[in-house]
Amino acid sequence: MTIQQLKITNFRNIASADIYPTAGVNLLVGENASGKTSILEAIYLLSMVRSFRSKKIKSLIQHATEQFTVFGSIAAESGNSYSLGVQRHQQSADTEILFRGQKPAGVAEVTAALPVQLINPDAFRLLEGSPKDRRQFLDWGVFHVEHSFIDCWKRFQRALKQRNSLLRHGRIDQLEMSLWEKELSENGEKITALREEYLTSLKPLFAELLDKFLGLDNLTLSFQRGWDKNVDLVESLFLSRTKDREQGFTQAGPQRADVRVAVNGYTAMDILSRGQQKLVVSALKLAQGALLSQARGKQCVYLIDDLPAELDKQHRKVFCEVLEKQSGQVFITGVDAEALAEGWLNPDSISWFHVEQGQVSPKPHLGSE
């Protein structure tokens, strides 16, 4: 997927922008608070229909205006182009999405059409955050690669909600409980198998990238499925009914899964430097893009907020080379044009944009100024 045109209206501090990015690397340079991250946020919104910075989508509407609009013209790998627009009005209860001129069935349809990977300071959460952050990472990949996942996931969530609500009832209807446990475990086992399979496919791609970035060959990823490995989920649920009733929720299952990232047996975030953590997280995200391309022939759009931060010159150079060699579209922000200009193999193929007080304009390549 490639964004050929991006039009932004009344979004954060951007009153109006209309840009034509290149299919490869796009660099967005500007001072603090100029609006660089807002552009990444607008692209992320097109894919996820939410922000990565704010839970309240209305906070994205430019102050003193009524609504924002983000529009993208997207080129698919098939050669077809289609339009995607997301709009939110102050007075409206919903966010409007228009995909190929129509209202999509759900957000998942849009997300599947425009896979976006974000590497920003919050991406560290993948290592230092809760298991939920790592499950989200894993499920992003499974969702894009395995189309049956979304249906299993929805059915699983519904069954989990039902079981939790039964657990809180005064008297449990054993038959109803068994029925929901069956539904929960059938879908839970499928989700787990898909997650395991996905992680197995991801590992070699991740190892290859990590080797380029850091040469950390003793780093391991291990999947923890979320319940006792010696029993089936249905059995585990049955055995834990009494304990779950006391707690008021289901304790075992894929909703407790995790991916442990360890170096020589130690939790990665406890021993890696900040720069190493950034490269591990980046390698994980780039590996997801590579797997999507390998499995589905789809390219992902990478959003990288402040690439130079935390990385020395040498690691920045390796990172740039990897980004240039992979086939997805990349948007990178930075405050220092010189630091951003370093390390590219083909600087002439890169598009530059200057961002200043919410205005976005194409910028001549640094060397040609």
Ligand X SMILES: Nc1ncnc2c1ncn2[C@@H]1O[C@H](COP(=O)(O)OP(=O)(O)OP(=O)(O)O)[C@@H](O)[C@H]1O
| Residue ranges with strand state E in 33-178 | 67-75, 81-89, 95-99, 116-119
Dihedral, CA of residue 139, residue 145, residue 148 and residue 154, to nearest 10: 20
Q: Which stretch binds ligand X (CB under 6 A): 58-66, 173-181, 183-191, 281-289?
A: 58-66
Dihedral, CA of residue 117, residue 122, residue 123 and residue 126, to nearest 10: -130
Report, in Å, the least distance between residue 81 CB and ligand X: 28
Is position 32 annotated in a ligand binding site? yes
Report, in Å, the least distance between residue 304 CB and ligand X: 12
Pairing outcome for strands 116-119 and 95-99: unpaired
33 binds ligand X, rule: CB under 6 A = yes
56 binds ligand X, rule: CB under 6 A = no
Is position 30 annotated in a ligand binding site? yes
Is position 367 annotated in a ligand binding site? no
**In terms of CB distance, is 8 or 184 closer to ligand X?**
8
Q: Which stretch binds ligand X (CB under 6 A): 61-69, 142-150, 183-191, 361-369?
A: 61-69
Pairing outcome for strands 266-267 and 359-363: unpaired
Is position 31 annotated in a ligand binding site? yes
Among the listed residues 34, 277, 288, 326, the single contact to ligand X using CB under 6 A: 34
**Which residues pair with residue 328 across a beta bridge?**
none
Radius of gyration of the chain (CA): 22
CB 278 within 8 A of CB 124: yes
Place of tokens 């530059």: 352
38 binds ligand X, rule: CB under 6 A = yes
35 binds ligand X, rule: CB under 6 A = yes
Q: Give the whole-angstrom CA distance, residue 220 versus residue 283.
A: 13
CB 35 within 8 A of CB 86: no
Q: Which stretch binds ligand X (CB under 6 A): 54-62, 170-178, 288-296, 337-345?
A: 54-62
**Which residues pair with residue 331 across a beta bridge?**
26, 303
308 binds ligand X, rule: CB under 6 A = no
48 binds ligand X, rule: CB under 6 A = no
Q: Which stretch binds ligand X (CB under 6 A): 25-33, 145-153, 155-163, 314-322?
A: 25-33
57 binds ligand X, rule: CB under 6 A = no
16 binds ligand X, rule: CB under 6 A = no
Tell which residue, 320, 369, 363, has the closest CA to residue 19: 363
Is position 13 annotated in a ligand binding site? no
Is position 33 annotated in a ligand binding site? yes
30 binds ligand X, rule: CB under 6 A = yes
CB 155 within 8 A of CB 163: no
Place of tokens 């910075």: 53
Q: Can you say which residues are annotated as belonging to the binding site? A: 30-37
Binding site for ligand X (CB under 6 A): 12-13, 30, 32-38, 59, 61-63, 335
